[in-house]
Chains A and B, each alone.
Chain A
Amino acid sequence: MFLFDNLLCMLLGISFTVWFTLLLVFIIVPAVFGVSFGIRRLYMNTLLKIFEWATLRMERGAKEKNQQLYKPYSNGIIAKELASLEQEMQEMRRSGSGSALGGAEFEMSDIFHFCRRGVESIVDDEVTKRFTAEELESWNLLTRSNYNFNHISTRLTVLWGLGVLIRYGILLPLRVTLAFTGVGLLVFLTSLIGLLPNGGMKSFLSEKAHLMCYRICVRALTAIITYHDSENKPKNGGICVANHTSPIDVIILSSDGCYAMVGQVHGGLMGVIQRAMVKACPHIWFERSEVKDRHLVAKRLSDHVADKTKLPILIFPEGTCINNTSVMMFKKGSFEIGCTVYPVAIKYDPRFGDAFWNSSKFGMVNYLLHMMSSWAIVCSVWYLPPMSREESEDAVQFANRVKAAIARKGGLADLLWDGGLKRDKVKEVFKEEQQKLYSKVLVGGAEDRSRS
């Protein structure tokens, strides 16, 4: 009896030690030194092959039953009429109810254009699409993204079951341990470093500590990141702007460079982390009341960039999480400060796990759980060359220029819309644009007639 107990204890002890050593050797030590064994890439390629196989099986299954596989279209249910208001009006005039005077006059049928446009928007509009998670063509063995439940054969179910076991039984605990290690180390080390006097040594150590802890966090998410054009990495005294998909963006960027964060002061665990981080190097945390005061915010930001010893500020000008298929309007605040802007484009590969945080649907903890039980987070980061505001442009135009560059590089759609539209109403200005356009078509026609 005792012998058996002893044996069991020994086995448990050994397996625990082995597991922990493996963890240390393959994950934590490389994180500390910033090297990689390439295990994650191997993992990623294997996963891709499995996903392709799974999708093929489903298609075969669907064909056998003579049913259509539900193919989600990223373009929506309808093909929208692309002709502009002017073109449509001209067409209507030509085939229209024959106004003897020719030229553009108001016709009863003009309302059709607006009516149809309106109903098209009801059936499918650009903005609502951006705030729900992207739909995939192939299945990545996660229930949450599967639309074809009927077509899963036994073999696929087994595979899926295996997937669940691996993800929740092995990957999740592993990742949670790593996450705690990473965050804990961050708080501990930054508090320690905070005790040192300000100077070169402190900055150096702070940089190393931050990088190391973020790298552990990156591994905690099994994030496979490819950085492009690192020669354009943000430098001191500048502002780094990036498109926003999830809170993880911060970790992804910070594991490759040191930034000063900007944000609201939170309570609880976040607050502890924030207070510790600010001891080691100057981040910018605002009280809730200060956030409303735009001048105060602008002043603190400009003071920070003026000091060349301080790190570049990291800002997400969209102001909210977008689902990574497009870039929405940038808020102009950060572009008014008048320093060099370093744009960064982040594009996630949705096949391995959807990184988009739908804050109206899921809370933070739920979201993190989703993240840590996905296969992996695969993304690409492009550092774009620095941009500055030119003499002839104002902050809004500059912001749009930067936004266009980011959208182009990341392969995202460049939208005029405001991220705030998730919650707020459309500005009157946009409605007026439509009216202006229509009146031009009518009045312009009248002018032509009076000339002739």
Chain B
Amino acid sequence: MGSTSSTLSKIPNADELIQETGFTSAHLARLFERFEALDKDKKGYLSPQDFEAIKELALNPICDRIIGAFFSSGQEMLDFSSFVRILAHFRPIDNNRTKEPNSPDPINSRINKLKFAFQLYDQDKDGKISRNELLQVLRAMLEKQVTEEQLESIADRTIQEADLDRDDAISFEEFRKSLEKVNIDHKMSIRFLR
């Protein structure tokens, strides 16, 4: 614990992170403390078990997928930079940020938020949400509350509506199209306090 500046000095490449993610230095300091609080064994990185220890998260029907999104490259150690980069997806979209030509989209752009949500569905990372993958998500969210037939009919209906090229799976483009009218910024953003 210390002032903002002393916490920041503990973070390697803090300036780079601030540039990349758009978090302010105060946010970064706060997130670093949260990172340390979650890292109970003081390993210097987070493991899936550290996430599973968060009680509110364990409540969440899709908690495994969310944890999986943090450890997407299959590694079991999450360092602070990666932690922050993923959380940056949930920053509200900056409407007044000038877009330089040829620069990559900011992490919290609409497209990137959609990509993040897409990977929650697409567990085998083949770029498509198959009927089976959709069923799995539905099962996670509804479990014993509905019958298997109801689950299957919901899955069928969803694919029917979204699948435009009739390959019985939903690609990222189809996903994006089906969510054109949804206010992604509102649904996939977390309000960080000053």
Contact = CB atoms under 8 A, between A and B. Distances in A.
A219 B4 CA distance: 39
In this complex, the interface size class of chain A, counting residues with CB under 8 Å from chain B, is: 35 or more
A128 B61 contact: no
A170 B188 CA distance: 56
Interface in B21-42: 26-27, 30-31, 34, 37-38
A78 B142 contact: no
A149 B3 contact: yes
B182 A95 contact: yes
B16 interface: no
Contacts of B54: 121-122, 125, 127-128
B192 A78 contact: yes
Interface string B121-150: 100000000000000011001111110001
A106 B60 CA distance: 18
A204 interface: no
Given A77-B34, A106-B138, A132-B37, A417 B190 contact: no
A37 interface: no
B45 interface: no
Contacts, number: 175
Interface of B: 1-6, 26-27, 30-31, 34, 37-38, 51, 54-63, 66, 87, 90, 116-117, 120-121, 137-138, 141-146, 150, 154, 157-158, 161-162, 170, 175, 178-184, 187-193
Given A67-B3, A436-B145, 13 more contacts: A67-B4, A77-B31, A95-B181, A96-B181, A108-B121, A111-B62, A111-B137, A111-B141, A112-B184, A114-B60, A121-B54, A125-B56, A435-B143
20 contacts: A67-B5, A68-B4, A81-B191, A97-B178, A97-B181, A116-B187, A118-B66, A119-B66, A122-B38, A125-B54, A150-B3, A417-B55, A426-B55, A431-B61, A434-B60, A435-B142, A438-B141, A440-B145, A442-B154, A443-B146
Interface of A: 67-68, 70, 73, 75-79, 81, 88, 92, 95-99, 105-128, 132, 147-151, 417, 421, 425-426, 430-436, 438-440, 442-443
